[in-house]
Amino acid sequence: MSKKTVLVTGANKGIGYGIAKHLGLSGWQVIIGARDGQRAEKAISELKAQGIDVLGWVNIELKDLDGIEKAAKEINEKYPELTLLVNNAGIPGDMSVDSEHTEISVIRETLDVNFIGTFALTKALIPLIAKNAGRIANVTVPSEISPYWHPLAYVASKAAQNAMMGVMAIEFQQSNTPVEIFSVHPGPTTTDLNGNMALPGFHDIETVGQKFAELINDGQNHQGEFIELYPIVKED
């Protein structure tokens, strides 16, 4: 049986790196999606040093739709055995302001990257993933608004991504398309995206990467599911 192949976007750091590492350690061949060659090469050498089979990296800049088309073409040519797309890459928007003070330009940019770009990449790779009866996993946050943490641009972009997942899951089932799509919420995690916030209940990248890999390797069908690796615990 050939090895399973995964593309993880934003895999040169943060949660994406943790996911790539732990899927790699569990026997997956890994393709790194990144927008910076130097950072991608650094991640690749670190992963290879840990015995992970990294096939290479693809330049994916989610706000560049022409670039996404090129990346999809390259993936089809170089990695025709792709069976899993992990849509992890994203930008935070401005997390320091409330919605009233959020600039329209920030909303637009965050949606362009986190939703439009993710949709464009997913759309471009569906034919290949369907050919391999594969899966698409989106790293996201709940659409339900948390009273503790709710930066508008980011939450709105992820709510749109969750809607995309739900609609696609139903359509794949209705059309008997052999693709499974689901969303994974890592829970509060200390990363660059949130300024390395480390409050009680936060997890590190290693823990989240490992738990994500366990989910991917569990042999279950998760079509249309929103899975919380570590649900946010409500305070009393």
CA 1 to the chain's CA centroid? 26
Measured distance CA(33)–CA(68) in Å, rounded? 11
8 Å CB contact between 168 and 149: no
**What's residue 205's pLDDT?**
84
Q: Can you list the alpha helix ranges (DSSP code H) found in the chain? A: 14-25, 37-49, 65-78, 104-111, 118-131, 152-174, 205-216
8 Å CB contact between 226 and 185: yes
**What's residue 19's pLDDT?**
97
**What's residue 230's pLDDT?**
81
Neighbours of 115 (CB within 10 A): 21
**What's residue 138's pLDDT?**
98
Task: For residue 81, give the 3-state DSSP assignment.
Answer: coil
Q: How far is CA 104 from CA 90, 135, 138, in A?
A: 18, 34, 25
**What's residue 48's pLDDT?**
98
**What's residue 44's pLDDT?**
98
Measured distance CA(121)–CA(128) in Å, rounded? 12
**What's residue 202's pLDDT?**
72
**What's residue 236's pLDDT?**
46
- Judge if pTM exceeds 0.75: yes
**What's residue 204's pLDDT?**
83
Which residues make Cβ contacts (< 8 Å) with residue 89, sequence separation at least 6? 9, 10, 16, 33, 35, 60, 62, 113, 117, 118
Residue 112 DSSP class: I
Q: Walk along the chain (236 residues) and give the pLDDT tens digit of each residue.
A: 457 999 999 999 999 999 999 999 999 999 999 999 999 999 999 999 999 999 999 999 999 999 999 999 999 999 999 999 999 999 999 999 999 999 999 999 999 999 999 999 999 999 999 999 999 999 999 999 989 889 999 999 999 999 999 999 999 999 999 999 999 998 777 666 666 767 667 778 899 999 999 999 999 999 999 999 986 655 44
